[in-house]
Amino acid sequence: MPRLLSSPASLAVSGRHERQAGRRLDRRLTMELGVISLLVGLLFLPLPAENLQLISQMNQAVMVLGAALAVYVMLRLNLLHFGVPAFMAVGGYSSALVAIHITDNVVALVAVSLVVPALVAVPFGLITLRLRGTYFALVTFLIGQVVHLAILASDRLGRTDGLTGVPAPTWGDVVMGDALTTFRLGLVVCILSALLVAGFMSVNSRRIDSLRSNEVLAASLGLRGWPIRLGSFVVSAAAAGASGFLVVNTLTTAHPSSFATLSGVNYVAYVVVGGAASIVGPLVGTVALVFLVAQFASEGVYASALLGGLLIFTSLFLRGGLTSTVRRIAEWLRDRRTPVPRASRQRRAVDEGQS
Amino acid sequence: MRARAERDVVGDQALRVVDLSKSFGGVHALRGVSLDISRGQILGIIGPNGAGKTSLVNAISGRERPTAGSVMLDGLDVTGRSPDYLSRRGLTRSYQQSNIFAEASVEENLARAAEFAGRRAVGVDAHLQATGLDAVLNSRSGSLPYGLQKMLGLVMSLSTGPSVVLMDEPAAGLEAGERPQVDRLVATCAEGGCAVLIVEHDMDMIRRLCPTVMVLDAGALLAAGPTAEVLARPDVLAAYLGVGDTESESSDG
Amino acid sequence: MDTLIQALINGTALGAQYAMLALGFSLVFGVLGVINLAHGGFYMLGGYFTYSLTSGVGLPFVPALILGVLGVALVGYLVELVLIEPIVDDHEGTLIVSLGFFLVVIAAVTVAYGPEAVPIEFPVSSVLRVGDAYLPVARLIVIAVAALAVLILWMVLFRTRHGVALRALAENREVASIQGLRPRVYFPVAVALSAGLAALAGGLVLPIFTLEPPVAEVALMTSFIIVVLGGLGSLLGAAVAALAVGLVEAIGGAYLDGSTTKLLLFSGVLLLLLLRPSGIAGRSVRDA
């Protein structure tokens, strides 16, 4: 019986296979490392500390990037997650409680905002394990509602007033209270979230791609789907929780209105408009939409209209969001200049398909 | 006929199905179907449309939970277990329609099959050569002609190194010239000790490959036994409503 | 005891209104496979169209309501044709597009009418007294109209050819299409029907309470909880769940407070999902 690796043909097979898989992993890994490097680079960028408006706007984006990553993780499984505000609230409120009653050490606060939502996510994740497709999306709205109502019902959490006067985080003797430090802290937290998300997805990339592509087939080949789904849900909650911490830290208040159920729509919009092919999508979507809303729609109602219009436009005309559209245009331009042989067009179709 | 006396030990049932039933909403898709199949055996399942053949495959493979009855795999009760559990235990199925990871390359499809089963696959490159898939390893599997996609699906299910394979209309959608490739796959598989259950409409293929055959009609067992005998029975022919040989008729199952 | 009777009446009225809301939502999912997030918007528009026609144009309430309902049904029809139809097989895409429309509609209404509640009153404000219980006639009217609407819907779906066609498409689109039923014709009708029902609910009920933009979101969440409880795609489940939710809210509201009741309700439904992912009467799905 011929064995898989014995013949020259199969050696070529395995070699080619490794190159193929390598190429696919390379591209996404490159994107992930690129985004993380960008965030690290921003950390060291000298910013004019007096330009409070600029710093505040950059902070706005950084604050919610984690929430966009939380949506992204689930969207890689083709699942729309509207319950991100719930886990932001868990992270925000738990870090606020710790800061008020126990310690304001920044490491403790960030750790709490990552771990507590991850733990809370487990029972909710189990509930959603057997839900598919858009039904999952519906239920995530309900999860958002439940957490929101629970917060409103809790005296400990300040009910409709929330928790005010949350102390600024400290690092040794340094109190991280000014705008620039808040922004840089936000960048660090984003880097952590991005590393968490990218790491999880790299380790599980083949399984995630298979579940996304054809869940029935993957199962009949022996893939256990639930660890990936539960894992994604937990990682998503951690990233959301860290974002919640940043929100509370910026406002120095843990308030229910920061985590309104319908705000989950915003984070989904960032990823849908930006694209979910790689981690660049949520980054692009968050920055673009936060900027657009700040420039053209400073009043809440116009922001809603803008977001809604963008969602409609993207769904109908920009399949895959901005990043995928840009890539398709770039390839179309490249094809026009040099005719592409069929074999490498096939390979490219494979690469593209992997996203 | 292959001599496999050493495998045909009484009690060496790779798959044993007892009184399997499936109903939903007043529809009885399966009514108390039983079968035994041992290692290296190839069993055909035939029957008119709506007879419950796919329901049988679904109920055994975990795609649907049976309402009653039991499924034993190598002596282990696996009734109602999930498809991924069964696959890891050595029972896989192939699909009537082409079912592959369309946006991935052929190689990647095979790599996934190998990884998820958690077992080393053997003889895959023989399958690849036999089907011509070795020439298109880098191609996007969704761009392949339908026949090749179907073959890829078959090869993937075989590459998990199963002890029992359920093939749901493997020839459906294949050109006449492609069908002998299925023969080769089935033969190689059975020679390796696999138990193969083939649901088919292509009577020529059934006659070529299956020494024994079972006939389902309206969810229940109508007849079972040596293929030539069963196919000559008047009640079997009647169940097919006068459509006997289906060489010309079934180009898509 | 009277509190209970009061609560039962209120609960039934609530349940009736919720039934109109939830049935439309479930119908669109059943026929098109689309989760239509704009649904809460249709409910809200029913109220605002009626308001505009009564206070702006000066029509009496009933014609205003009827015209308002027809107007929203037309909006629903157009939404399906323009926004949903191009991508109808993309479940995630249609959800997003309907969400976009929902946001746009809320923004438009807020700009046109302002963020505060508008003054609109239900034409009937008399109250019946039964023992120590107060039965606002308005609520009784809501129950009556809702029951009539649900009855008419049932008759359309089960007794007319087109209704049967809609249900056939919901059951199995492929087979129904092969047999000659054209989804392209029926889909917009399904959405129009659903929008009209939501608008009827809104136009009837919002004048009794308050008419302001946030009601759209509340209506949407209520629709969600009902269809999840009753089972996505099951009309009977939606109707039963609507009544159940209405009663729970009213009785809970009488003895506890509003948000605690809601919290218990939502938690209860989520817990139920753990045991029965498809709700009480939904289609059982192993791989949806």
Q: Which residues of A touch C285 (CB under 8 A)?
A: 132
With a cut of 70, say whether residue B244 has pLDDT above it. no
Distance, in Å, from the CA atom of B111 to the CA atom of A18, rounded to the nearest integer, reads 10
Section B126-144 average pLDDT = 88
Which residue is listed with tokens 């809603």? Answer: A304
Does B91 lie at the interface with A, CB-CB under 8 angstroms? no
Please state, rounded to an integer, the average pLDDT across all residues of chain C. Answer: 86
**Which chain C residue has its CA at the smallest distance from B81's CA?**
C286
Q: Which of B211, B141, B153, B139 is nearest to B181 (CA)?
A: B153
Q: Which of A144-153, A154-163, A330-339, B75-84 has the lowest mean pLDDT?
A: A330-339
pLDDT digits (tens, 9 = 90+) for B42-98: 999 999 888 889 999 999 999 888 999 999 999 899 998 999 999 989 999 999 999
Contact (CB, 8 A) for A119 and A235: no
Q: Look at B104 and A217 and tell me if their CB atoms are within 8 Å.
A: no
Which residue type occupies C124?
Answer: V
pLDDT attached to residue A352: 53
A349 pLDDT band, cuts 50/70/90, is: low
List of chains touching C (3+ CB pairs within 8 A): A, B
What is the rounded average pLDDT of the residues A155-165?
88
CB–CB contact C92 A153 (8 Å): no
- Does residue A86 contact residue A93 with C-beta atoms inside 8 Å? no
How much is the average pLDDT of C233-262? 88
Distance CA C62, CA C203 (A): 10
Provide the pLDDT for residue A9. Answer: 44
pLDDT digits (tens, 9 = 90+) for A21-59: 445 556 788 888 888 888 888 888 887 777 888 888 899
Q: Where are the domains of chain A?
A: 28-354
Looking at residue B93, the DSSP 8-state letter turns out to be: E
Q: Which has the higher per-residue pLDDT, A355 or C80?
A: C80
Assessment of whether the complete model's pTM goes beyond 0.90: no
Domains in chain B, CATH or no CATH each: 13-97+161-239 (3.40.50.300)
> Band of the pLDDT at B121, cuts 50, 70, 90?
low
- Tell me whether B82 touches chain A (CB under 8 Å): yes
pLDDT of residue A24: 55
Percent of chain B with pLDDT over 90: 46
Interface test with C, best of A75, A126, A130 (most C CBs within 10 A): A130
The reply to whether residue B139 touches residue A222, judged by beta carbons under 8 angstroms, is no
pLDDT of residue C178: 74
Coil, strand, or helix at residue A252?
A: coil
Confidence of residue B192 (pLDDT cuts 50, 70, 90): confident
Confidence (pLDDT) at A347: 60
pLDDT band at A269 (very low <50, low <70, confident <90, very high): very high
Which residue in the set A217, A347, A349 is minimally distant from B100, CB to CB? A217
- Position C282 scores a pLDDT of 64
| pLDDT confidence tier of residue A11, bands split at 50, 70 and 90 | very low
ipTM of model: 0.88
What is the model's pLDDT at position A351?
55
Q: Would you place residue A2 in the very low, low, confident or very high pLDDT band (cuts 50, 70, 90)?
A: very low
pLDDT band (50, 70, 90) for residue B161: confident
Give mean pLDDT, residues C171-193: 80
Q: Output the six-digit token pair for A352.
A: 């593209």
Residue of chain A whose alpha carbon sits nearest to that of B84? A222
Burial of A298: CB neighbours in 10 Å, binned 0-12, 13-18, 19+:
exposed
pLDDT at position B5: 41
pLDDT computed for residue C201 by the predictor: 92
What is the predicted pLDDT for the residue at A14?
A: 46
pLDDT of A238 above 90: yes
CA atoms B187, B190, B191, B194: torsion sign: positive
Classify strands B13-24 and B212-217 as parallel, antiparallel or unpaired: unpaired
The mean pLDDT value for A319-341 works out to 83
Q: Name chain B contacts of A341, Cβ cutoff 8 Å.
A: none
pLDDT one-digit tens code per residue, C87-112: 988 888 999 999 999 999 999 999 99
Calculate the alpha carbon distances from A183 to A64, A111, A159, A316 in Å: 12, 18, 28, 36
CA distance C91 to chain A (A): 7
**Which three-class secondary structure state does DSSP give residue C267?**
helix
Instruction: Please report which confidence band the pLDDT of residue A105 belongs to, taking 50, 70 and 90 as the band edges.
Output: very high
Q: Taking 70 as the threshold, does the pLDDT of residue A79 lie above it?
A: yes
Considering the four listed CATH numbers 1.10.3470, 1.10.10, 3.30.720, 1.10.1660, the one that applies to the domain covering A28-354 is 1.10.3470
pLDDT of residue A350: 62
pLDDT value of position C159: 87
Question: For the segment C114-133, what is each residue's pLDDT rounded down to a tens digit?
Answer: 888 888 888 887 888 877 77
Confidence (pLDDT) at B12: 65
- Of residues C254 and C69, more confidence is placed in C69
> In angstroms, how far is CA C106 from the centroid of its own chain?
16
Minimum Cα–Cα distance from A81: chain C residue? C92
Q: Report pLDDT for A345.
A: 61
- Residue B10: the pLDDT is 43
User: CB–CB of C265/C225 below 8 Å?
Assistant: yes
pLDDT tier for residue A346 given thresholds of 50, 70 and 90: low
Interface with C, mutate which of A315, A316, A317 (most C CBs under 10 A): A315
Which of C:249-288 have CB within 8 Å of B?
A: 284, 286-287
Q: Neighbours of B (≥3 Cβ pairs closer than 8 A)?
A: A, C
State pLDDT tens for residues C4-37: 888 888 899 889 999 999 999 998 988 888 899 9
pLDDT at A6: 38
Residue A355: pLDDT above 80?
A: no
For B89, the closest chain A residue by CA position comes to A222
